[in-house]
Amino acid sequence: MAIVELRFSALPEHVRTARLVAAAVARRAGVAETVLDEVRLAVGEACSRAVGMHRSRADDDRPVTVTLDDGNGRFCIEVNDGVPQPALTEAGVAEGAGLVPDLSANGSGLDLIENEMGLAVILGLVDDLDVRAGAEGGVIRMSWPSGAKSAETVG
Amino acid sequence: MDLSLSTRTEGGRTIVEVGGEIDVYTAPKLREQLVELVNEGQFHLIVDMEAVDFLDSTGLGVLVGGLKRVRAHEGSLQLVCTQERILKIFRITGLTKVFPIHPSVATAIEASD
């Protein structure tokens, strides 16, 4: 098991760095090449959302923390925005309630799309996803199968 | 890689050629460009994304914002994209229902005539 932890000030320019680090560590952990684009996009979305959580808090210098862990046959990414917030209801998160924009309305739906697409993208990309919020900050935890390299070399 | 932007007129439409990465850091540049074009009276836009390496939800939000602006002037915003990894994001978010997506600039111009 190996853990890589990245902490950065909640600034947009650092999100690309987080994407690059996550993709490099995922590749090293044996995550399939075909999945690396999803990892890169999902961690970018989670970090962008975390940076956005700090936007209205100019005096808040708590960093965003990204933890990459390749233990137990899974490659796990946890992004903690460091912004204390009220807890989400578990039922709502499990069903993705309110997280995916409703595109049925032609006009009003566009306002929602413009502002809250990040979690919708993550929900569409990641099968194993956990979103939590609490006094320690909002945490998005995602995981993918790792060790794909050994499977690919068989035969 | 940073974001590259260039504009030109072709077939009576304004083509915005975008290259590089569109994310939370670079998307404001694209937003500024689209706002500027609309303010100049360019209401029929084609955004060519063939040279885009990365697109996230912030970029999608900017494109949706651009669409809202041109629609307010009865205009149109069409996309050119054939890259599967970029198209996938439009499919995941259901935005294929919102944006006409074409395989080439020529097709986009033809469709908007």
**DSSP assignment of B2-64:** -EEEEEEEETTEEEEEEEEEESTTTHHHHHHHHHHHHHTT--EEEEEEEEEEEE-HHHHHHHH
Name chain A contacts of B98, Cβ cutoff 8 Å: 103, 110, 113
pLDDT number for residue A114 = 56
User: What CATH number does the domain containing A35 carry?
Assistant: 3.30.565.10
- DSSP lists the bridge partners of residue B54 as B21
Average pLDDT over residues B27-31: 96
Tokens matching residue A95: 């069903």
Q: Verify whether the Cβ–Cβ distance A114 to B65 is below 8 Å.
A: yes
Name chain A contacts of B67, Cβ cutoff 8 Å: 110
For residue A104, is it within any domain?
yes
The band of A144, judged by pLDDT with boundaries at 50, 70 and 90, is very high
Tokens matching residue A84: 């204390």
For residue A64, is it within any domain?
yes
Cα(A100)–Cα(A121) distance, integer angstroms: 8
Is ipTM beyond 0.95? no
- Choose the closest CB to A125 out of B92, B95, B97: B92
pLDDT of A1 strictly over 90:
no
Q: Are A77 and A141 in contact (CB under 8 A)?
A: yes
Residues 43-72 of B with CB under 8 A from A: 54, 56-58, 60-61, 64-65, 67-68
Among the residue ranges A88-97, B28-37, B47-56, B63-72, the one predicted with the least confidence is: A88-97
Count Cβ neighbours within 10 Å for each residue of A22-53 and write b for 16 or more, e otherwise: bbebbbebbbbeebbebbbbbbbbbbbbbbbb
Give the gap in angstroms from C-alpha B24 to the nearest C-alpha of chain A.
6
- Coil, strand or helix: which one is A136? coil
Name chain B contacts of A103, Cβ cutoff 8 Å: 94-95, 97-98
Q: Does domain B3-112 have CATH number 3.30.420.40?
A: no
Domain that holds residue A111: 3-149
Q: Are A44 and B23 in contact (CB under 8 A)?
A: yes
Tokens matching residue B110: 């033809």
For residue A85, is it within any domain?
yes
A63 vs A98, residue with greater confidence:
A63
**Domain-wise residue ranges, chain B:** 3-112
Average pLDDT over residues A23-30: 94
For A49-92, what is each residue's pLDDT tens digit? 999 888 877 667 889 999 999 988 899 999 999 988 877 655 55
For residue A154, is it within any domain?
no
For residue A58, is it within any domain?
yes
pLDDT of B46 strictly over 70:
yes
Please name the helix (run of DSSP H) or strand (run of DSSP E) that holds residue A34, with its range, or none. Answer: helix A33-54
Average pLDDT over residues B21-43: 96
Q: Are B75 and A67 in contact (CB under 8 A)?
A: no
- Coil, strand or helix: which one is A129? strand
pLDDT of B29 strictly over 90:
yes
- Coil, strand or helix: which one is A17? helix
For residue A119, is it within any domain?
yes
Which of B52, B57, B93 to mutate to probe the A interface, most A CBs <10 Å? B57
Please check whether residue A73 touches B, CB under 8 A: no
